[in-house]
Amino acid sequence: MRTEIIYIDKDNIDKVMLGRAAAIIRAGGLVAFPTETVYGIGANALDSEAAKKIYVAKGRPSDNPLILHISDINDICLYAKEIPDKAWMLATEYWPGPLTVVLKKRDIVPYETTGGLDTVAIRMPSHPVARNLIKLSRLPIAAPSANISGKPSPTKASHVYTDMNNRIDMIIDGGMASVGLESTILDCSGDMPTILRSGAISRSMLESVVGEVALDEAVCSECDAQLKPKAPGMKYRHYAPNANLTIVEGESSAVTAKINELTAAALAAGRKVGIISSKENAGFYIGGEIVIIGSREDEKAIALNLFDVLRSFDDMGVDMIYSESFEGAGLREAIMNRLVKAAAYKVIRCNYSAVQKNITDYECKAK
């Protein structure tokens, strides 16, 4: 299949051009489009055959449900039933935006879209290209992130092209995403709203609207790989660059010293090494391909750049990647959730001994 690429300016939308993309969706085809979080591969969410094509294009297991994207908050009633007040309050507060709510599905939504579940995940994106595409197609659009299953999500059209060329009908290039991490997923189908995937809408932002919100125990960046997540997709290997990634956390100078030590050993063994560095620490590294992800102070930039940085190491063909850690609350929790998964849970913690005499007096252990 030949993949056509079109350009749409999000600030000046060419509806005739975008109408061609909508026609592909209506005809049962696949169109990648920008959202504020990451690019998605869209298909008619009510057409089981179209939904099946998404799984083939991504190489995605068929038990991993898709998010249904709408352009009007009231459309939630068309696809979900028994909508709790808390879900309405959150949708009213944070839509359009990077929040997905899981609710009981109506029969009109096929099981191919929901991965066989009786619930459906719904989101109203804020990106003007996404919203106009949904409106013009007059359909809800099922859209997973537009990457090959297991790869980092795409934040630019060029990422989509790398993974999806010749697998889908069209790619709409609408510029870079503005958030860079996928939406927060909140399960509102039970008694207690529960976060199934962290994102830019943090737990405290949700709790400020509806009171207590639970966190699926498998979501946190601290927990181990054995816990089984409730969002089916979160159990698969994710966000992984080709190279082996290790995170080094702890006191800043101990971290840079340890990364330098690991880099020197890998270089001596003939390996090509990449380093994910904060702007502040970039000058302290003595070897390897150093990629600056952003300032430690600017968590939004780190979130936005994360997947692009991971993909850039694939382009460079590095064998090993060592990354600084960016732990903290809110958006940092979502950043670390993705980074720890990309590292397949390989995290080393380094600290200085109580009486530090020189730079080499740090101790590290695997977490």
Positions touching ligand TXA (CB under 6 A) are 35, 37-38, 40, 64-67, 98, 100, 102, 114, 117, 119-121, 123, 143-145, 182-183, 185, 196, 231-234
Q: Which two tokens stand for residue 1?
A: 């299949």
Other residues' Cβ atoms within 10 Å of the Cβ of residue 110: 18
Q: Tokens 């609350």 label which residue?
A: 329
Residue 233 C-beta: closest distance to ligand TXA, Å: 2
State the binding partner of 169 from ligand TXA, Mg ion, none, CB within 5 to 8 A by kind: none
**d(Cα 32, Cα 10) in Å, to the nearest integer?**
15
Residue 41 C-beta: closest distance to Mg ion, Å: 10
Which CB sits closer to Mg ion, 84 or 232? 232
**d(Cα 184, Cα 108) in Å, to the nearest integer?**
25
Closest CA to 70 of 142, 7, 21: 142
Residue 217 C-beta: closest distance to ligand TXA, Å: 15
Q: Any contact of residue 100 with Mg ion (CB under 5 A)?
A: no
What is the DSSP-derived secondary structure letter of residue 152? P
Q: Beta strand pairing status for 141-142 and 40-44?
A: antiparallel
Residue nearest to Mg ion (CB): 145
Number of residues interacting with Mg ion: please give it, by CB under 5 A. 1
Show the site string, 101-140: x = touches Mg ion by CB under 5 A, - = not.
Answer: ----------------------------------------
Q: Tokens 């696809």 label which residue?
A: 79
* Residue-by-residue DSSP string for 225-246: TTS--SSGGGGS--S--SSEEE
Q: Any contact of residue 145 with Mg ion (CB under 5 A)?
A: yes
Which CB sits closer to ligand TXA, 235 or 272? 235
**d(Cα 87, Cα 187) in Å, to the nearest integer?**
9
Residue 18 C-beta: closest distance to ligand TXA, Å: 17
The answer to whether residues 328 and 344 touch, using CB atoms and an 8 Å cutoff, is no
Which CB sits closer to ligand TXA, 100 or 260? 100
Residue 114 C-beta: closest distance to ligand TXA, Å: 5
Residues interacting with Mg ion, by CB under 5 A? 145
